[in-house]
Structures are given as C-alpha cells and as structure tokens.
Amino acid sequence: MKGYDVIGDVHGCYDELCELLDKIGESSERKLIFVGDLIDRGPKQKECVTLVRKLVEQNKALCIMGNHEYNAILKRMNLRLKKDLFALPFCDFVDSDRDFYYDAIEWMKTLPLWLDLPSLGVVHACWNSRLMRILASYLDSERRVKNDSFFVDSSKEASGCTITKIADAAEIILKGSELILPEGEFFVDKDGKKRKEIRYKWWQTVTEDTRYCDIALSVGDAVITDKKLGQIKGWIGKEPPKLIVVGHYWLRSRSPDNVSLEDAAFSDKVFCSDFSCVKQGRLAAIRVDLNSDDSVGGVSVESVASREF
Ligand SMILES: [Mn+2]
C-alpha cells in the first residue's frame, strides 16, 4: 500500500537502522521520512549520515532537520545557541575526518525544517502554524533554508525583537515548547533541579478552563499547579490540522519487545517516532498508509531493538 514510513531519531544507531529498513522493505509506492537527529550520542554517526544522504539523493527518502543538526550547523558557523548546552560530538569530525565533516554540514543546511505533505505533517518537535509563518520568509517552497542568514538571525549573536522571535520559533519547532508557571510555582525534575517552566502538550486544544496540570509534559511524578492558564499567551496552539509525526521526545515503549500504536500516540492525530534507540530503547518507524485519494488509510508502528553498545 502506498504511504510513508517515518523513522525516529537515529542518533548514530546504524546497525539498528539497517535492520529496521530490512524489516520495512523497499517499495516504489512508499517513501521513507527521517525526522532528524541522525547524529550525536551513538556509535556510527558517519554511516548514518552517509546512508540517509544516499537515500535522499536516490529519491527514496526525505529527511528534515533535527535540533542536533541545527546545533552542529551553528557550531560550525561559530554561532552560539540561544541556550548554551552540552558538547556536540559530531563536531569532533572536524579533527578526525575533516572532508566528511564540512561536506556533511553543508548537506545538513539543505534539510527542510518541516514537511507539509497533503495528508501528513512532519516536524522534529513541535507543529505550530503561527511559528511556521514567522520562519517562512527564510525558507524556499520546500521549507529548506534559503541562505545562512537564518542561522545567524536565530542564534544568540542576533538581537532585537524580530530576531528574538525567529530564535524562539526555531527553538520551539526543533526542540519543543515551554510554558512559564505562575509566580511562585515550580516543580522538581528527575535530576532534582527546581524548574519554573514546563514542557507542555502543544497538540492539545486549550480553552479558558485548561489548567497547567492538564497540559504539563515530561514532568514525571511531580505535582503541577491546578491553576488555570487564564489568558492564553505565547505560542500555545490549537489541535493540528492534519496527521502529524514528530521525533525528539525519548519515549519508552511499555513492552521492551515492541512499540505499540498506543505507545506512539500523543493524540489521535499526533504520533511520536522516537523510542530512545540510543538509550537501549527501540528504533521505530511510524507507518502511514494512504488511500488512492491520498487520505490516511491507517497508521501502524514497526520497530527493532537497540543493540547494546
Ligand atoms: Mn531531538
């Protein structure tokens, strides 16, 4: 059946990727889609980039930008991230395999920031049409970055109101969105750190009665305030207009032996493909079947186990 197979964050897990591709099988009717984050963390980053690039060039796959590719590009351009963070292992190739490194970064710059297909949207972390409109002036019709000004304007080097909007928009699309809790409220995260911001379920429709505890995401067992959001501010959106697949969220399947559709479903319209392969989870593909009129016929999940490394 024709359709798309959307593969979650690979993070250098090349052996698992080959196994998953074998399992899915090849069909001229179907297209592979990678949600980004091919690099960092895992053992075979170069092999992953090389294979996915080849599949894209052969027109068998599409690949969008993840936050790790974005971070690597900024680092290569000597630009600072909006929030300073961790080491970027991919950048070690600048010493160990210089030609590959420069070439790979140039290729990463050509990756679309999201895909808006007739029945399916794919973005690394967060679908938000308001933010996508802000980013659109930097992108061509296939949502690829037109030139380096996008990276400069979305980095910490840039300042000014419009520019900040672009940094926020890029950050949220690629890394997810956070909401500041009301004055005096906080929660303690799994590392014991006090946090005044929560990640939230951006796919959920928000009304005037929605409370912070209703939309908090990835807060573990922490108790979040039941105060209402009140006036809706920032980037909180409405339920997405079509089927959306994301990666990024380090989900765990309930069973170690498979990923179920229930595991992957954030809602009946939003599915997550990232099941922490690089952290002894599973590498998963969200399989979207299309009817002859391109409407969605069904959604299922295929996955393979992480190999210990
Ligand atoms: Mn990510």
The pLDDT value recorded for residue 220 is 83
Question: 3-177+235-305: which CATH architecture?
Answer: 4-Layer Sandwich (3.60)
In contact, 211 and 179? CB cutoff 8 Å: no
8-state DSSP, 292: T
- Cα of 253 vs centre of ligand 1, distance in Å, is 18
Q: Which residue has the higher pLDDT, 82 or 221?
A: 221
8-state DSSP, 159: -
Pair of tokens at residue 59 = 């027109």
CA-nearest of 289, 264, 309 to 8 is 264
The pLDDT value recorded for residue 192 is 87
The pLDDT value recorded for residue 233 is 58
pLDDT, the chain, mean: 92
- Cα of 292 vs centre of ligand 1, distance in Å, is 33
pLDDT digits 0-9 by tens, 209-244:
889 999 998 888 899 999 998 766 555 667 788 999
d(CA 39, CA 59) in angstroms, rounded, equals 21
- Cα of 274 vs centre of ligand 1, distance in Å, is 9
Amino acid at 146: K
- Whole-Å CA distances, 233 to 179, 206, 207: 9, 11, 12
pTM of the model: 0.93
8-state DSSP, 30: E
- Cα of 45 vs centre of ligand 1, distance in Å, is 15
In contact, 125 and 172? CB cutoff 8 Å: yes
The pLDDT value recorded for residue 232 is 63
Domains of the chain, by residue range, sit at: 3-177+235-305, 178-234
- Cα of 227 vs centre of ligand 1, distance in Å, is 30
The average pLDDT across 176-197 equals 90
N-term to C-term CA, the chain? 35
Q: Which residues contact 196 (CB under 8 A, 6 or more apart)?
A: 180, 181, 185, 186
pLDDT digits 0-9 by tens, 10-65:
999 999 999 999 999 999 999 999 999 999 999 999 999 999 999 999 999 999 99
- Cα of 69 vs centre of ligand 1, distance in Å, is 9
- Cα of 32 vs centre of ligand 1, distance in Å, is 18
Helix (H) or strand (E) holding 129: helix 129-135
| Beta strands in the chain, from DSSP E residues, in sequence order | 3-7, 30-34, 61-63, 114-117, 120-123, 178-180, 187-188, 194-195, 197-200, 216-217, 243-246, 270-272, 274-275, 282-290, 296-305
Q: How confident is the model at residue 76 (pLDDT cuts 50, 70, 90)?
A: very high
- Cα of 291 vs centre of ligand 1, distance in Å, is 31
- Cα of 279 vs centre of ligand 1, distance in Å, is 13
- Cα of 305 vs centre of ligand 1, distance in Å, is 19
Query: Which spans in 155-211 are helix H?
Result: 161-175
pLDDT digits 0-9 by tens, 132-174:
999 999 999 999 999 999 999 888 776 554 666 888 899 899 9
pLDDT at residue 190 greater than cutoff 60? yes
pLDDT at residue 87 greater than cutoff 90? no
Q: How confident is the model at residue 107 (pLDDT cuts 50, 70, 90)?
A: very high
Q: How confident is the model at residue 290 (pLDDT cuts 50, 70, 90)?
A: very high
CA-nearest of 47, 41, 28, 88 to 274 is 41
- Cα of 248 vs centre of ligand 1, distance in Å, is 4
The pLDDT value recorded for residue 167 is 87
